[in-house]
Amino acid sequence: MLISPLRSSSVVVILALFLGLWLAACGGGSEVARVTDRPDRDTTVRIAEERPVAPAIEKPAGYEQVDAKRFDDGKMWTFSNPPLAYFNETYDMTADAAWLEQARLGALRFSDSCSASLVSDRGLAMTNHHCARDFITKVSRRDEQLLEEGFYASEPADERRVEGLYVEQVVGIEDVTASVRGVLSESGDDQARAQARRNRIQEIESERTRRVEARDTTLRVEVARMYSGARYTAITYRRLSDVRLVMAPELQLGYFGGDTDNFTYPRYNLDMAFFRVYENGQPLQNEAFFAWNTSGSQAGDPVFVVGNPGTTSRQKTVEQLEFMRDFTLPQQLNALQRRADVLEAYLEGHTAAEDTTNVRNITFSVRNTLKSLNGQWEGLKDPALMARRIDREQALREAVNTTDSLRQSYGDAFVRMTDTQRARRSTADRDAAFVFFGSNILDSRVITRGLYGYYYQTLRRQGVPPAEIADLRESAMDVSDWPDAVEEAFLAIRLDELREAFGPDHPTVRRVLADTTPEDLAASIVERTALTDSTQFVDIFDEGYLDSGDASVSMMQAIGPLFIRHIQSSQSLTDREDNLLAQINRVRLAALGRDTVPPDANFTLRIADGVVQGYADDAGTAVPPYTTFAGMYALYDQHGPDSDWALPERWVDARDQLDQQVPLNLVTTNDITGGNSGSPLLNRQLEVVGLIFDSNLEALPNAFIYRDEQARAVAVDVRAIREALVTVYGADRLVRELTGEAVVRTGSLK
């Protein structure tokens, strides 16, 4: 599953956004950690005397001959700077502005973590089943288990609206770099500069959103940081919030092979779902959409992916990647594994019908993120990958050393980044106490709600008006409940992580735990607190959490200040990194040229080129570009009906009617990452030939550098989607809309 790994829906993000407000309320934030630093621009004389100013870095021993390659920065091209000449020359095509506009308008952002596309002129949208799981669960009625049973609206009236689901279409793109950077001082305090940047971005977004809303209330503007802040783009989105489920197969098809097959290939998944976008109560009337090509593709065909890749780190420095390798990823993996164990233990004792708090879908996402992050970690431990990154960065360092203008403007950026990473490493062990802290998905609800309550009331006491922190309250109300068993285990884990990171003799740890254990304290608090119940939490929050007398208050009064100091210190270093990385990326653009370097992924719309192509695995065995339904049935026969490769009864019954030689999944060299789930796979004419849903394991390190020797994107073949809709599900209305062909109903799904 190629969703963005557990997008950080947490109070941590909210705190970061409100950090400037917090510092102002608390009198300037005197406890923020500082790193001794030289100013940015008053070093011209010293730089001229000390050369080189960007020290050389060495490749790992034995990898001295490994060099960077042309597309190491990847192929996630922006729509504001697309390489149309490269497309046309490489793939013998004639892409132009009209072609690009159709690609842009046919693509959608699906909620806050996936992609989708319009595939008819009546608002029909296609995405992945795994992107739709939560929404399928949400529209299930009493005594229905649509996630297991599947769903098909045979009539328009049967399409089910999903509360809270929206899609977004890009309708405008404008560079606003000058407007953002014009308010920034080129010297002075990093945090002040970062806060000025955030304030200016918010001003631009608010001003432009008011302007576009005046003509269309569905429009909103978002400013995206490109090249780590070297460029800024204002993107106008059209948000449509009436989205209805049309069709979804059973979970056993959308997640065939389970976690074992996740991020692997060969693959046999029907990871698809269809929704319809409505406007003013009627299906959206859209001229731009991607037509269906029932002939599919062939090996060697050029193909394009249009979607919203979530995050890559191809333009961070080598030292930043080394910190991720040594600290960030190991800590995240450890925290995820501990919580995955709790969730899986809970599911073993509860049926799907008993899972009323969405534990199963969250567990799927946790497993997915574990596998994704582990693949990234393995990539950072690969000396060949790091050698290519070092070779590319060394070219930037040499450009600084040999170009007067770059040397004067950015001469000490690399040295200061080294100092910043050294400061990060000095406190990195304690970061483990706060991994996923306050997450709506991965933390105790007592911790998350308690932190919201602590922070909100503290700001109120400092005189911050409620209107200015309304978003904080809204986010607090979005936190859902855990089963008591999960809540107690998660709280015990968090307390244990605090003790491990700071040590049992730390004053805060002693204050929280006293003479008890994390497990005993967690059990005591969960038994007595009101924070495990969303209804009771509303009253406590609004009346003043810190004065409520709740059993969790004393714990949060100890942990809250420690966490705030941690956030302040971490944000100080993050602001420093952001400012320096923006400078380094300005060097990158000056040295390499904007036309040849796409920015890192940031969940904004991109178009990526590639070809349908198999590969050779590590043993030299050829891996074919296509799989078939025959392979799916072979796995079912091998593993049986009680395995991750089980098939629903209707699929077993349809075995003889289904054309088993129809291609089911395929692989391509397209550049994708989390967030691209649900992206359409298109041919040169922008016709649908597949549906992106995953990558293979070899592609996971592509978060740091694009490689296509074995790394592949995995898609559902359009021919398999049609065959399943016709033969297994009898979705004649849907097939007619997609292809224009009349079909005879053979299967059924209601």
- pLDDT mean over 27-56: 46
Average pLDDT over residues 12-36: 43
Asked if 462 contacts 25 with a C-beta cutoff of 8 angstroms, the reply is yes
pLDDT score, position 101: 98
CA 325-327-333 angle, to 5 degrees, is 85
The share of the chain scoring above pLDDT 90, in percent, equals 81
Contact at 8 Å (CB) between 550 and 540?
yes
- pLDDT score of 356: 80
Quote the mean pLDDT of the chain: 91
- Within the chain, how many helices (H) and strands (E) appear? 28, 21
**pLDDT tens for residues 635-670?**
999 999 999 999 999 999 999 999 999 999 999 999
Query: Is there a contact between 716 and 253 (Cβ–Cβ < 8 Å)?
Result: no
β-partners of residue 680 are 691
DSSP one-letter code for 156: G
Confidence of residue 28 (pLDDT cuts 50, 70, 90): very low
Both tokens assigned to 453: 């309550």
Average pLDDT of the segment spanning 708-726: 98
Residue that has been written with the tokens 């000058």 in this structure? 178
Please give the single-letter amino acid code of residue 97.
A
Q: What are the C-alpha distances in Å from 64 to residues 36, 385, 391, 503?
A: 34, 12, 9, 42
pLDDT digits (tens, 9 = 90+) for 619-632: 999 999 999 999 99
- Which range, 14-23, 410-419, 593-602, 691-700, has the best average confidence (pLDDT)? 691-700
Element (DSSP H or E) covering residue 384 = helix 383-402
Which token pair is 693?
A: 């849903």
What b/e string do you get for 667-698 counting C-beta neighbours within 10 Å, with b at 16 or more? bbbbbbbbbbbbbbbbbbebbbbbbbbbbbbb
Q: What is the pLDDT of residue 14?
A: 53
What does the pLDDT read at residue 591?
86
| Bridge-based pairing state of the strands 713-717 and 663-668 | antiparallel
Instruction: Phi first, then psi: give them for residue 630, nearest 5 degrees.
Output: -60, -40
Give mean pLDDT, residues 290-298.
97
Is the pLDDT at 51 greater than 50, yes or no? no
* Helix H or strand E segment including 223: strand 219-226
Whether residue 61 has pLDDT greater than 70: yes
* 8 A C-beta contact, residue 703 and residue 747: no
Q: What share of the chain is helix, strand, coil (3-state, %, to 5)?
A: 50, 15, 35
- With bands split at pLDDT 50, 70 and 90, how would you rate the model's confidence at 32? very low
Rg of the chain over all Cα atoms, to the nearest angstrom? 26
Q: Is the dihedral of CA 18, 20, 25, 27 positive or negative?
A: positive
Question: Which is more confidently placed, 317 or 349?
Answer: 317
Interval 181-210 mean pLDDT: 87
Across 602-621, average pLDDT = 97
pLDDT recorded at residue 33: 34
Rounded to an integer, the average pLDDT of 509-536 is 96
Q: Is the pLDDT of residue 593 over 90?
A: no
- Lowest-pLDDT range of 188-192, 324-328, 393-397, 648-652: 188-192
Residues 6+ apart with CB under 8 A from 496: 518
Q: Do residues 446 and 487 make contact, with C-beta atoms less than 8 angstroms apart?
A: yes
The answer to whether the CB of 130 falls within 8 A of the CB of 364 is yes
What HEC string does 517-537 produce? CHHHHHHHHHHHCCCCCHHHH
Q: pTM for the full model?
A: 0.92
Per-residue pLDDT at 595? 73
* Alpha-carbon span 593 to 393, nearest angstrom: 15
Question: Residue 567: exposed, middle, or buried by beta-carbon count in 10 A (0-12, 13-18, 19+)?
Answer: buried
- Provide the pLDDT for residue 19: 45
pLDDT digits (tens, 9 = 90+) for 202-258: 999 999 999 999 999 999 999 999 999 999 999 999 999 999 999 999 999 999 999
Q: How confident is the model at residue 20 (pLDDT cuts 50, 70, 90)?
A: very low
Q: What is the mean pLDDT of residues 51-78?
A: 92
Q: What is the pLDDT of residue 38?
A: 35
- Residue 244 CB contacts under 8 Å (≥ 6 apart), including other chains: 153, 159, 160, 161, 162, 275, 276, 278
Q: Comparing C-alpha atoms, which of 417, 321, 314, 384 is closest to residue 55?
A: 417
Q: What is the pLDDT of residue 350?
A: 87
> Is residue 670 helix, strand or coil?
coil
What CA–CA distance (Å, rounded) separates 194 from 200?
10
CA angle at 212 for the pair 210 and 213, rounded to the nearest 5°: 65
- Position 746 pLDDT exceeds 80: no
Helix (H) or strand (E) holding 224: strand 219-226
Question: How far is CA 237 from each of CA 445, 471, 688, rounded to the nearest angstrom?
Answer: 33, 21, 23
Sign for the CA dihedral angle at 468, 570, 599, 110 comes to: negative
Alpha-carbon distance of 342 to 223, in angstroms, equals 39
Label each residue of 7-70 as H, E or C: CCCEHHHHHHHCHHHHHHHCCCCCCCCCCCCCCCCCCHHHHHHCCCCCCCCCCCCCCCCCCCCC
pLDDT (0 to 100) of residue 381: 98
pLDDT in tens, 79-116: 999 999 999 999 999 999 999 999 999 999 999 999 99
Each residue of 480-500: pLDDT tens digit?
Answer: 999 999 999 999 999 999 999
Share of the chain above pLDDT 70, in %: 91
Phi, psi of 104 (to 5 degrees): -70, -45
* Position 544 confidence tier, pLDDT thresholds 50, 70, 90: very high
Placement of tokens 């990385």 in the chain = 581
Task: Please identify which residue in the block is written with the tokens 């969303």.
Answer: 534
Determine the pLDDT at residue 371. 95
pLDDT in the model for residue 745: 52
Closest CA to 200 of 221, 224, 181: 181
Taking the domains of the chain in order of start, what are their residue ranges? 11-38+316-580
